[in-house]
Amino acid sequence: MPTIKDIEIYELGEMGAEKSSPWSSTILVVKMVASDGTVGYGEAPTTLMTLPVYEELKEMSRIFIGREVTEIQKNYMEVYKHSFYLPVSVESTAALSALEIASWDITGKIYGMPVYDAFGGRMREDVRAYANGWYDNCVSPEDFVAKAKAVVKMGFSGVKFDPFRDAYDNINAEQLDHAESVVKAMRSSFPKLDLMIECHGRFNANSAIRAGHALEKYNPLFIEEPVHPDQFEGLLRFKNEVSIPVALGERVMNSNLFLNYMTNSAVDVIQPDITNFGGMLQGKSVAAMAQAFGIEVAYHNAFGPIQTAATLNLDYTIPNLLIQESFEAFWPAWKKKLVKSGYSIENGRFSLAKGRPGLGITIDERIMEEYKVKGIEPFNPSEPAWVVGGTFAKPSATVKKRQRHGSK
């Protein structure tokens, strides 16, 4: 079988173009070349860690070079042996993910089959998506409703959004009232739309519980990361107090680490990210683990199109898929053009091109050359990179005045 001959790492981006998802202003793309000339692509996330992941990709490539490209599990375990902090270092797991995904792309091409066939074949013809990244610069309830109308016209039957403005750790009465007013307006305006509430892991348990109690009457499909990710006992308190299903997983760094959440009934929907927790094998195995607990899967998917293609190849194969995250409609033009063909999203549903080998995508290498960047991604001291742009806002003087006078 062919061996891995070469690995190239590309940092891609366009300064100022990423309006809705500043955490992915840059993406890291791996181009892996096998000894027979077959090329595969992978992707690693960058959230304020572009350079560390880039350097870790160079380090880890030394393990992959010269090894048989189709021996993916064996190569994974070789990395596990050498990378001492692998299960708890996102730099390591992200680098491994990109290399593992590229290996699957090549393996599928060598055998002339889609990666989804290697994982058991298709369970479905397409994949239901929900929109994220649509609400940049939304602060008021009216802002959210106005933008959501355009999203619904695109055909999406579910949307995720963060209504908490600048609340962090604690949430005061004014911030909570504001968040509820946003969710209430969304539910009133779109009674049949699935609403997913994004907390970004920002709250202590007491504040999360208050927020959950205020919002559960609006029947969200789930609430995501309601509690700081390192406060497991606080998450259990939230689960015992609030009836909204809990989703989490983008910061859980391998499939084994999900087990504690499952055995303690701490999660209802898992959201592993196959570009930061080890790749596609990990994504498939954790879905099988979740199935044993009756837990559904909604893979995290907030970076670039290679990630989407790889994730869809798993979505097609797992029986316990709930819904798939999509930023596609709200990307800058360069990111939309990076993948020339292979998957599409229409009327709120993803489709992979049938029968195409590997990940099934065609990369536009002209975009890879034209949008090369170098260095750390932009930093905004006024707004964390993990929020949708323009939403981490303090109330305006007009809003404060309206609230003091009790008007709506």
Percent of residues, the chain, with pLDDT higher than 70: 97
Strand partners, 325: 130
pLDDT of residue 396: 66
Q: How would you classify the pairing of strands 4-13 and 26-34?
A: antiparallel
Quick one: average pLDDT of 309-334? 97
How would you class 123 by CB atoms within 10 Å of its CB: exposed for 0-12, middle for 13-18, buried for 19 or more? Answer: middle
**Count of C-beta atoms within a 10 Å radius of residue 114:** 23
Reported confidence tier of residue 397, pLDDT bands at 50, 70, 90: very low
pLDDT of residue 407: 41
Reported confidence tier of residue 107, pLDDT bands at 50, 70, 90: very high
pLDDT of residue 271: 98
Instruction: Report the half-sphere exposure of 94 (CA within 13 A, side-chain side).
Output: 25
Q: Two tokens at 63?
A: 């393990």
Quick check: 54 pLDDT over 90? Answer: yes
Got the DSSP string for 205-252?
HHHHHHHHHHHGGG--SEEE--B-TT-HHHHHHHHHH--SPEEE-TT-
pLDDT of residue 408: 42
pLDDT of residue 185: 98
User: Cβ distance 4 to 32 under 8 Å?
Assistant: yes
Quick one: average pLDDT of 63-70? 98
Quick check: 298 pLDDT over 70? Answer: yes
Q: What's the CA gap between 405 and 317, in Å, rounded?
A: 55
User: Cβ distance 290 to 320 under 8 Å?
Assistant: yes
Quick check: 88 pLDDT over 80? Answer: yes
Q: What is the mean pLDDT of the chain?
A: 95
Instruction: Report the half-sphere exposure of 131 (CA within 13 A, side-chain side).
Output: 26
3-state secondary structure of 347: coil
Q: How far is CA 371 from CA 25, 111, 118, 325, 337, in A?
A: 12, 32, 33, 25, 11
pLDDT in tens, 7-26: 999 999 998 888 889 999 99
pLDDT of residue 16: 82
Strand partners, 351: 344
pLDDT of residue 80: 96
Residues assigned a catalytic role: 200, 300
pLDDT in tens, 355-368: 999 999 999 999 99
Reported confidence tier of residue 378, pLDDT bands at 50, 70, 90: confident
Taken in order of first residue, the domains within the chain and their CATH numbers are 4-113 (3.30.390.10), 117-363 (3.20.20.120)
Quick check: 84 pLDDT over 70? Answer: yes
How would you class 379 by CB atoms within 10 Å of its CB: exposed for 0-12, middle for 13-18, buried for 19 or more? Answer: exposed
Reported confidence tier of residue 394, pLDDT bands at 50, 70, 90: confident
Quick check: 76 pLDDT over 50? Answer: yes
Question: Which segments of 38-172 does DSSP mark as H helices, in order?
Answer: 50-64, 72-82, 90-111, 115-118, 141-153
Per-residue HEC secondary structure of 23-61 comes to HHCEEEEEEEEECCCCEEEEEECCCCCHHHHHHHHHHHH
pLDDT of residue 377: 87
Handedness of CA 33, 285, 114, 26 (dihedral sign): negative
Quick one: average pLDDT of 221-226? 98
Quick one: average pLDDT of 280-291? 98
Q: What's the CA gap between 62 and 79, in Å, rounded?
A: 10
Q: What's the CA gap between 130 and 323, in Å, rounded?
A: 7
User: Cβ distance 275 to 45 under 8 Å?
Assistant: yes
Quick check: 75 pLDDT over 50? Answer: yes
User: Cβ distance 89 to 268 under 8 Å?
Assistant: no
Of 83, 82, 81, give the one whose Cα is nearest residue 94.
83
